[in-house]
Amino acid sequence: MSKAALFIKNLTKSFGDTIAVNQLTLAIKPGEILGLLGANGAGKSTTMQIMLGLIKPTSGSIEVFGMDLEKDRIQILKRMNFSSTYANLPSNLTVDQNLKVFAGLYCIKNSKDKIEEMMDLFEIAHLRKKVTGQLSSGESTRLNLCKAFLNDPSLLLLDEPTASLDPDIADKVRTLINKLRYERNLSILYTSHNMRDIEAICDRIIFLHKGSIIVEGTRNEIKKHFKEQSLEEVFIHIARDGNLVDRMEKEES
């Protein structure tokens, strides 16, 4: 049993002959934000979906708060939440109705007060009677985050939370997530294609390529390792040549 909020050991998922995740081992400490990066098809989404229990791994284990995800899924999900730009709340319910339903699903005590608190925090209280389908991208993202924070999670999985947001709203969202992380000692797994996001918010970064970890460290360690000025340049290099690390190691030796 580990003290990490999330501990993944030798996780592998294959679909027929295709290996989507290959012997992945990683941990997130309490209060840490871990960025999971990689080009399309690198295995980020599959990894996240396995963590959420949506996909059954071929082998390996996942421990969340020291509990086994397969055995204690419900207990774990009560202390965990998820927000993705690609999973909006039902578009035909109002903001208020959606939050009421999810407060019920997560069995939130004093749900009325909690919903008010969250709506105030994410500045969407004035939208309570608005139909979710009529919200702008920024409003919709804030609603998704509002739902994600309803149960005071200890572990949050955020899948591209600032995608399709303008820079101003994206900055506000990042700042708020960071603030809440410190206030609540919240662990976050964060995926994004926005390198500014990752640089601004993540304590540690993992680059995935073909389902395996290609490099891991702080943003400065990674930039130094690849002798690049920005994470964006590192990303492009890795995306275009996944064997870069091997080649660099050979050159160094």
Site string for other proteins, 123-162 (x = CB under 8 A): ------------------------x---------------
Of the candidates 19, 39, 67, 93, which one interacts with other proteins according to CB under 8 A?
93
Site string for other proteins, 195-214 (x = CB under 8 A): --------------------
Residue type at 239 in one-letter notation:
A
36 φψ region: left (φ > 0), alpha (ψ -120 to 50), beta (else): beta
Nearer to other proteins, 86 or 182 (CB): 86
Q: Is 217 in the site for other proteins (CB under 8 A)?
A: no
Please report how close the Cβ of residue 226 comes to other proteins at its closest, in angstroms: 31
CA–CA gap between residue 75 and residue 235 (Å, rounded): 36
> Which backbone phi and psi does 26 adopt, to 5 degrees?
-155, 160
Are 178 and 103 in contact by the 8 Å Cβ rule? The answer is: no
Of the candidates 22, 36, 43, 46, which one interacts with other proteins according to CB under 8 A?
46
Q: Is 235 in the site for other proteins (CB under 8 A)?
A: no
Please report how close the Cβ of residue 105 comes to other proteins at its closest, in angstroms: 5
Are 229 and 223 in contact by the 8 Å Cβ rule? The answer is: yes
3-state secondary structure of 191: strand
Q: Is 45 in the site for other proteins (CB under 8 A)?
A: yes
Whole-number Cα distances in Å, 200 to 13, 30, 44, 72: 31, 19, 20, 34
What are residue 13's DSSP bridge partners? 21
Q: Can you give the binding site for other proteins, defined by CB under 8 A?
A: 13, 15, 20, 45-46, 49, 52-56, 73-75, 77-78, 81-82, 84, 86-94, 97, 100-107, 147
